[in-house]
């Protein structure tokens, strides 16, 4: 019989088919137009019903490639994708606010790579601008090289707080900041040397945080790389008669057609120094020349939506048609992120607390002490919990941070994903025994006993990845993996369950890696749904 049925009446109600006419003729006509593929091996027409028969041999594919060789991916455009994400400001500790950009960008890069794209992962550091004028002027007054060696980013953070406070009421300090930044742009040796020292110690410390998150970058770039090119952009804007001078003496580009002042973008200060968007224009042009990308994706919070709208419009006005292939992926804010010490400022505090809380939960199990490195496992599971909590809903939505819910062992959490994967991967029946049976007695594993629901979920992995590729939302993959975990918890067929567990374990591991989660093979005993066991005597 058929594995799945499609009612023509449903298609009529949804407006896909005309609401009148011979229903049987419509059924037969639609059945002939539908094509078989590697998943659907037979299509037939019944009485107002189209029957689909699934190729169950799909479930004996090699585990590590399960669902990744789908014909569905042939319709996706492939090429070079450049993803810019994380992008913190140097001379500051890694702020917790950059967590979302980092993990979302990492997901998008992993997804694009999984689907066959050449991916360039770029960290575009905020390493230029008036903030370094303030920091340079402040370090001259409040800085200490000894403290900089002892705890570099903490000391720079303290200096930055001090100088900002001083600049609020001290015009001389504001002028000193402007002077220092002008010296930077004019390549004064002393100013550049201090700035370079700040940049190097910052990148070194950031890399330790990225290592904990399992995130890496192919390119560390920054605004400073494009200071010369930014002036060239200004000249190009002038030559195209796009650059105007405002009443305040600043250089602006008018993007409006009706004189709407909200569409006027400032690209040059009155003293001739460049701005963030000027350097972004230069960076985009340079990247296209250097990497010849097919698409470029920026991952930042939604408050920067107007910045990127202006950026893309100016690029198009300059004659760069490829700007249509640039995309901004915005995300909302995280509210209520606190540790036991209070309000969170630095990401390291969040990661430390996630590890500590998870290690405490694991310590309640007697089997935790049998693990080789419980701290490392607690770190990975804690980060999994952070990622899944973040990815459950639409990226543009704000969400409230909740430690207790995030670390629950049951429900829609990263902890639940990790526990399920650990139980599957360490099960004798999904590893040694399954492979032995497959080799010695392949006819034993009768996958026909798997239910349609089990088949439907497991075989829809490619559809979920395809959907994620369309809108770059991780929620589709997260919800799919959670549904898969629940499904295999209730799998009933004793023999076919071996195949289901093995395929599910592979899909869970691959899906979690795309999300940026490192799967673990052991956590502790976990009294949730019984995953079941093989038939006695096998």
pLDDT of res. 534? 37
pLDDT of res. 488? 74
Residue 499: closest CA among 416, 433, 422: 433
pLDDT in tens, 177-210: 999 988 988 889 999 999 999 899 888 889 999 9
Domain 341-515 bears CATH identifier 1.10.730.10: yes
Give the mean pLDDT of 421-427: 76
Position with higher pLDDT, 226 vs 12: 226
Give the mean pLDDT of 374-382: 93
Which residues are part of the catalytic machinery? 92, 95, 98
Position with higher pLDDT, 420 vs 104: 104
pLDDT of residue 260 exceeding 60: no
Position with higher pLDDT, 377 vs 30: 377
What average pLDDT does the chain have? Answer: 83
pLDDT of res. 516? 95
pLDDT of res. 81? 98
pLDDT of res. 535? 33
pLDDT of res. 532? 40
Position with higher pLDDT, 56 vs 312: 312
pLDDT of residue 458 exceeding 90: no
Position with higher pLDDT, 157 vs 8: 157
Domain regions of the chain by residue span:
4-54, 85-217, 220-331, 341-515
pLDDT of residue 156 exceeding 70: yes
Please list the residues that pair with 40 across neighbouring strands: 54
DSSP for 439-499 reads HH-GGG--GGGS-HHHHHHHTTHHHHHHHHHHH--THHHHHHHHHHHHHHHT---TTHHHH
Q: Which CATH superfamily is domain 220-331 in?
A: HUPs (3.40.50.620)
Tell the residue number behind the tokens 């973040």, with chain if given: 390
Give the mean pLDDT of 259-267: 74
Of the given ranges (148-162, 200-214, 257-271, 319-333), which has the lowest mean pLDDT? 257-271
* pLDDT-based confidence at residue 227 (cuts at 50, 70, 90): confident
Residues 534 and 538: their CA atoms lie apart, in Å, by 7
* pLDDT-based confidence at residue 42 (cuts at 50, 70, 90): confident
Please list the residues that pair with 120 across neighbouring strands: 82
Give the mean pLDDT of 56-75: 67
pLDDT of res. 29? 81
Tell me, yes or no, if the two domains 85-217 and 220-331 fold the same way.
yes
pLDDT of res. 104? 97
| Cβ neighbours for 406, distance < 8 A, ≥ 6 positions apart | 385, 386, 388, 389, 413, 414
pLDDT of residue 1 exceeding 90: no
What 3-state class would DSSP assign to 318? coil
**Alpha helix (H) residue ranges in 143-275:** 145-150, 152-167, 171-185, 189-213, 227-239
Position with higher pLDDT, 299 vs 409: 299
Residues 191 and 133: their CA atoms lie apart, in Å, by 9
pLDDT of residue 433 exceeding 60: no
pLDDT of residue 324 exceeding 90: yes
* pLDDT-based confidence at residue 308 (cuts at 50, 70, 90): very high
pLDDT of res. 454? 60
pLDDT of residue 412 exceeding 80: yes
Please tell me the CATH code under which domain 85-217 is placed.
3.40.50.620
Buried b (16+ CB within 10 A) or exposed e, 280-315: bbbbbbbbbeebebebbbbbbbbeeeebbebbbebb
pLDDT of residue 492 exceeding 60: no
pLDDT of res. 443? 44
Give the mean pLDDT of 107-128: 95
């Amino acid at each position: 019989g058929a594995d799945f049925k499609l009612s023509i009446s449903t298609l009529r109600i949804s407006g896909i088919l005309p609401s009148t006419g011979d229903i049987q003729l419509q059924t037969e006509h639609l059945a002939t137009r539908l094509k078989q593929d590697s998943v659907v091996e037979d299509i037939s027409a019944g009485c107002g019903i189209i029957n689909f028969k699934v190729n169950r041999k799909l479930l004996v594919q090699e585990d590590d490639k399960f669902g990744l060789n789908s014909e569905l991916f042939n319709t996706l455009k492939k090429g070079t994708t450049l993803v810019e994400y994380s992008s913190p400001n140097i001379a500051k500790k890694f702020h917790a606010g950059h967590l979302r950009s980092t993990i979302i960008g990492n997901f998008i890069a992993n997804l694009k790579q999984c689907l066959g794209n050449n991916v360039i992962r770029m960290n575009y550091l905020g390493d230029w601008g008036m903030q370094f004028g303030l920091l340079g002027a402040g370090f001259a007054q409040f800085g200490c090289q000894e403290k900089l060696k002892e705890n570099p980013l903490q000391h720079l953070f303290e200096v930055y707080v001090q100088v900002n406070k001083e600049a609020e009421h001290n015009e001389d300090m504001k002028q000193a900041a402007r002077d220092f930044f002008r010296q930077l742009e004019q390549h004064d040796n002393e100013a550049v040397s201090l700035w370079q020292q700040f940049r190097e110690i910052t990148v070194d410390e950031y890399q330790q945080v990225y290592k904990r998150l399992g995130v890496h970058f192919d390119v560390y770039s920054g605004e400073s790389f494009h200071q010369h090119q930014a002036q060239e952009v200004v000249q190009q804007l002038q030559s195209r008669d796009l650059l105007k001078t405002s009443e305040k003496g600043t250089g602006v580009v008018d993007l409006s057609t009706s004189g709407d002042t909200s569409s006027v973008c400032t690209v040059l200060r009155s003293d001739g120094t460049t701005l963030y968007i000027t350097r972004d224009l230069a960076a985009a042009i340079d990247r296209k020349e250097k990497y010849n990308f097919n698409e470029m994706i920026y991952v930042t919070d939604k408050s920067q939506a107007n910045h990127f709208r202006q950026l893309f419009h100016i690029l198009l006005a300059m004659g760069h048609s490829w700007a249509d292939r640039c995309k901004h992926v915005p995300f909302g804010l995280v509210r209520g992120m606190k540790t036991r010490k209070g309000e969170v400022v630095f990401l390291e505090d969040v990661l430390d607390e996630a590890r500590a809380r998870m290690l405490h939960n694991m310590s309640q199990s007697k089997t935790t002490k049998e693990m080789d490195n419980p701290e490392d496992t607690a770190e990975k599971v804690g980060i999994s919990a952070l990622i899944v909590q973040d990815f459950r809903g639409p990226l543009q939505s704000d969400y409230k941070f909740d430690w207790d819910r995030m670390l629950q062992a049951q429900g829609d959490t990263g902890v639940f994903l990790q526990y399920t994967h650990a139980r599957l991967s360490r099960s004798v029946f999904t590893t040694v025994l399954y492979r032995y049976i497959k080799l010695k007695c392949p006819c034993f594993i009768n996958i026909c006993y798997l239910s349609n629901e089990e088949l439907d979920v497991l075989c829809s992995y490619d559809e979920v990845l395809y959907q994620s590729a369309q809108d770059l939302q991780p929620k589709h993959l997260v919800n799919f993996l959670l549904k898969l975990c629940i499904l295999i918890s209730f799998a009933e067929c004793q023999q076919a369950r071996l195949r289901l567990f093995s395929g599910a374990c592979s899909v869970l591991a691959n899906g979690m890696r795309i999300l940026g989660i490192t799967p673990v093979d052991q956590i502790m005993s976990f009294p949730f749904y019984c995953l079941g066991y093989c038939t006695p005597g096998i």
